Each structure stands twice: as structure tokens, then as C-alpha cells.
Amino acid sequence: MGDVARTRVEAAEAGTALLWVRGLTRAGLEPADLELASGELLLISGPSGAGKSLLLRALADLDPNSGEVFLKGEPRNRFPAPQWRRLVTYLSATPGWWAPTVQEHFRPEDKDIAAGMLARLGLPPQAMEWDVDRLSTGESQRLALLRALVQCPAVLLLDEPTGALDAKSTAQVEDFLRERLANGLAVILVSHDRAQGRRLAKRSLVMAKGGKLSEGPP
């Protein structure tokens, strides 16, 4: 196939996928190709240190990287960086907090929406008023997930989002994600929990040491 024909094929593919990635790379990461459809959850597994978090950060454009990344057929470089990171939102396994209380991390127009979702994640009504310093790791993970979801991202990049949760809280988070997936949210999930992957994902990729991706088990 010639270069012009290949470009046309790739442009058509980028227009049909919600998220379309070719040759995405950065230090410590082999060039990665992937596609993600609306309402799909893609699992990425692999050994610690392989580069899974680096890939998620590159997709969110948080670190220097190169490659082609399209969202709804539009190239990433057409989006202002803050807009891209709201649409393609990365949630670390250890979320960051930059103000004293939880509610200060939510826009005024989102606070009532967030408060109405707390119970879905096993959190009490007063959680929005909590000081960040008093949050357990599990509470921090769930509240950060809520913080990300009320921004209505198109793609959510989750890095071990239930690693600090017990079975009941994990089930609540998974149910909440299923509901959002049914409404069109797309998710890339990094998880070492194989059972969680089987519960949520229909497709998976495996990252080897050095950052090389390959197709994983269904």
C-alpha cells in the first residue's frame, strides 16, 4: 500500500474510533497502537514497571511524548491541553489533592451532582466536607474517581482504581463504572486484578517489560 493510500485508510480508521492511537511513545515506552470505542473498557495488564502508567500519562499528554492520537476523529494537537485532559482524564493510583477540603476540588456547578453520587460509591453525605488530610487511601481513590466523572470525560484512564478497596467497595465502583460505560464513557483500565478484568473487560492488552503491547486474553 502506498503512503497516500495508507494515510487515507488511517484517517478513516481514526474517524470511526472514539480514541485512535498510532505509534505513541515516550522514554521507557515502546511505540503503542490501540483503538477504543465508545462504551468500551479496555484492560491493560502486565508486570510492575513495564510502563503501563507511562502509557496512560502519555495518552493524557501529561509527559513529553510523540505519536498520533485522535479523539472522535480530531487530532490531539487541535485541543488546548486543559481541554484534552478533561476529555481524556488520567486518574493515578495515588490521586493528587491540592486544596484543604474535598469540596474545593469540585466546580460549584458540580457539587450537588457529586453529592448525589456519594452513596453509590459507599461514601456518606458529609464526605464532600471532609478535610483531605483525613482521607484513607480507599476514600481518596473513590472521591478522586467521582471528581473525574463529574467532569464528563469521553475517555477515563484508570490506574489501579480499586487497589486499596475491600470487596464491597470494589463492587460498588465496578457497578458505577458499568453504568457510565452503558452511557458511552470509554475506559482504559490498568489492573493487576485478573478477576476484575474478566468482570469488566471484553478486550485486553498485555504490556511486557520495556513497554511493548500485545493482544491479551479475551
- pLDDT tens for residues 62-106? 999 999 999 999 999 999 999 999 999 999 999 999 999 999 999
Alpha helices in the chain (DSSP H): 3-16, 52-59, 81-87, 111-117, 137-149, 167-182, 194-200
In the sheet where 41-45 sits, what is the strand order?
88-91, 155-159, 186-190, 41-45, 203-207, 213-215
Stretch 157-181: mean pLDDT: 95
* Confidence check: pLDDT of 201 > 60: yes
pLDDT of 98-139, one tens digit each?
Answer: 999 999 999 999 999 999 999 999 999 999 999 999 999 999
Q: Is 0.75 topped by the overall pTM?
A: yes
User: Average pLDDT, whole number, for the chain?
Assistant: 91
Work out whether strand 186-190 and strand 203-207 pair parallel, antiparallel, or are unpaired.
unpaired
What pLDDT score was predicted for residue 105? 96
